[in-house]
Amino acid sequence: MGIIEKMRLDGKKGFVTGAARGIGKCTASGFAEAGADVAIVDLDYDEAVKTAAEIAEATGRKVIALKCDCTDKAQVEAMVKAVVEELGGLDFCHNNAGICINAPAEEMTYEQWMKVININLNGVFLTDVEAGKYMLTHGGGSIINTASMSAHIVNVPQPQCAYNASKAAVIQLTKSLAIEWAKRGVRVNSISPGYIGTDLVLNSPSLVPLIEKWNAMAPMGRLGKPEELESICVYLAGDSSSFTTGSDFIVDGAFTCF
C-alpha cells in the first residue's frame, strides 16, 4: 500500500466533538473528504445538523449530527453508542469541544474556573475513555485531543489561567492514556493549535482588538486558518500514523519557538 492509500480513511468511522463550527467543522470535513463516515457532535444541535448536511453534500459520505454535553457521562455514553449504531463502528475520534474564559485570576469566579475545567479537561477525559472502551474491544483505534499552544506558553495580553491549565492537563492525559493503551491497539495523540482565525475569533468583540497584537508577536505575522489543521488530524486518524502515539503536535506558525 502506497503512502497516498495509507492517508485515506475509506471505511473508517469516527466522531468530532465541538464540530458544528470552527476547528471541529474543518477536521470533520477533512475526515469525510478522506473517505470516512463522521458524526458531528455538538451542544448546538441545529447548527450540527446544518454542518452535517453541508459536509455530506460536499463529500458524498455518511455524516450524522448528534447532540451531546461532553461533561455529562450518561450523554457521552449515549453519544458513542449512537455513533457505533448509526455509522457501524468507531475507528477514530477528535475530542475538540472546548471554551476559554478570559479573566484575571483574582477576579475569576470558582464557577468560571470549573466551567473551563469541566469542558476542556473532564469532557475530554469522558469522551476519551468511552471511545477507548469501544476501541479496546473492537480492534483498536485512534483518539485525537485538542490541546493548545497555551499548554506550552502563557498567552499575553489576555489573562486565561484556567484555559492554560486545562490544556496542559489535556496533554498529560493524552500521554497517560497512550501509555496505558499502547500495547492494546489504541493510539492517543493531541494537537496544539496556535491562534486560529475561526469565525468565533474573527467576530468576537473581546478578541478582535487582540488580533493585531497577536499578529505582531507571531513569526508568520498572521493567524492560522482552521483548514490548516485538517491534514495533521487526517494523518493521526489513519493507518499511516500507526507508530505515532503519546505525541503532541504544535501547529502554531512557530509562535511557541521563542
Order of strands, sheet of 92-95, starting from the edge strand that comes earlier in the sequence: 63-67, 37-42, 13-17, 92-95, 141-146, 186-193, 248-251
Task: Please name which of 239, 222, 224 lies closest in space to residue 192, comparing C-alpha atoms.
Answer: 224
**In degrees rounded to 5, what are phi and psi of residue 206?**
-85, -25
Task: Exactly one of 12, 25, 67, 167 is catalytic; name it.
Answer: 167
Task: Please name which of 91, 74, 197, 95 lies closest in space to residue 138, comparing C-alpha atoms.
Answer: 91
Active site residue 12: no
Task: Exactly one of 148, 150, 190, 241 is catalytic; name it.
Answer: 148
Task: Exactly one of 134, 163, 195, 235 is catalytic; name it.
Answer: 163
Active site residue 45: no
Residue whose grid cell is 470549573: 114
Active site residue 195: no
CA distance 34 to 69: 27
Task: Please name which of 238, 125, 228 lies closest in space to residue 250, comparing C-alpha atoms.
Answer: 228
Contact present, 129 and 180 (Cβ < 8 Å): no
Q: Which residues contact 223 (CB under 8 A, 6 or more apart)?
A: 194, 195, 196, 197, 201, 211, 214, 215
Task: Please name which of 185, 92, 197 lies closest in space to residue 145, comparing C-alpha atoms.
Answer: 92
Task: Report, as residue numbers or ranges, the catalytic residues.
Answer: 148, 163, 167
